[in-house]
């Protein structure tokens, strides 16, 4: 696994990670000055995460609908760079907010980096990665909910609708969709013909991601129910 994580590091990935840091810094300077440091810090990173989610999710949807086949390597490299940026954020956040390190998020990102390290040189894995990236379509809505709450709009209809849209997208692309593309790719022969053991790694990564997404989906449902009660 460590070797696969190391393979995710290259010039393109590091450049994209550095770009994410610069955009987050620029966002920090433009956010509301009356917010305390830790809120502005988190908001600046969430802005990057929302933009990255929209970019990757829409790129994957376009690729699946128009082109098909393995994703371009540069898109995998950029997503790896973003994961490095977000992993750094998850490690720094406890010091900023005084909260414990999120082990599930850290595990999610490390497994994701290992998968990206393999996908860079493996065609079948990059083809499946396009389906995995559809999960990012739920990301912008999740962060919009956070921003609306910070702006005091958590009791509005907009907050309710945004939460329901985010929960529905999460259910479709992070909970219901993964078992389907795992089933469609259950034959290990095309995978292991390029590199032995990759199919097993794909199944293990899929199991980890799906278990984490199921756990987080339960929390989203609870949040959506709470927002609905407030709106009423």
- Give the model confidence (pLDDT) of 152-188 as tens digits: 888 888 988 888 888 889 999 999 988 888 888 777 7
Q: Give the residue-averaged pLDDT of 48-67.
A: 94
Burial-class residue 30 by CB neighbours within 10 Å (0-12, 13-18, 19+).
exposed
Q: 20 and 46 in contact (C-beta within 8 Å)?
A: no
Task: Give pTM, 2 decimals.
Answer: 0.87
Q: Return the residue matching tokens 């999460």.
A: 170
Cβ(8)–Cβ(74) below 8 Å: no
* pLDDT of 56 over the 60 cut: yes
Quote the CA–CA distance of 130 and 108 in Å, as a whole number.
Answer: 18
Q: If we measure between CA atoms, which residue out of 174, 155, 168 comes closest to residue 212?
A: 174
Q: Tell me what pLDDT residue 217 has.
A: 84
pLDDT of 198 > 90? The answer is no
222 contact partners, CB below 8 Å, separation of at least 6: none
pLDDT of residue 231: 55
Q: How far apart are CA 84 and CA 137, in angstroms?
A: 20
CB burial of 151-161 (b: ≥16 within 10 Å; e: otherwise) equals eeebeeeebbe
């Amino acid at each position: 696994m460590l070797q696969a994580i190391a393979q995710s590091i290259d010039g393109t990935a590091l450049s994209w990670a550095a770009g994410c840091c610069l955009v987050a810094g620029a966002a920090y300077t433009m956010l509301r000055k009356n917010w305390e440091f830790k809120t502005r810090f988190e908001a600046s990173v969430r802005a990057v995460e929302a933009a990255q989610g929209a970019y990757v999710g829409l790129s994957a949807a376009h690729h699946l609908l128009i082109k098909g086949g393995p994703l371009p390597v540069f898109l995998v490299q950029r997503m790896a760079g973003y994961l490095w940026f977000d992993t750094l954020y998850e490690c720094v956040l406890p010091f900023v907010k005084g909260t414990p390190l999120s082990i599930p998020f850290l595990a999610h990102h490390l497994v994701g980096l290992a998968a990206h390290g393999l996908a860079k040189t493996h065609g079948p894995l990059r083809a499946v990665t396009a389906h995995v990236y559809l999960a990012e379509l739920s990301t912008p809505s999740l962060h919009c909910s956070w921003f609306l709450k910070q702006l005091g709009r958590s009791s509005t209809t907009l907050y309710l609708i945004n939460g329901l849209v985010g929960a529905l997208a999460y259910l479709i692309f992070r909970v219901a969709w993964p078992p389907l593309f795992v089933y469609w790719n259950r034959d290990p022969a095309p995978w292991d013909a390029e590199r032995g053991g990759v199919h097993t790694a794909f199944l293990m990564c899929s199991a980890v991601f799906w278990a984490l997404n199921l756990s987080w989906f339960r929390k989203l449902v609870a949040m959506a129910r709470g927002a609905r009660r407030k709106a009423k």
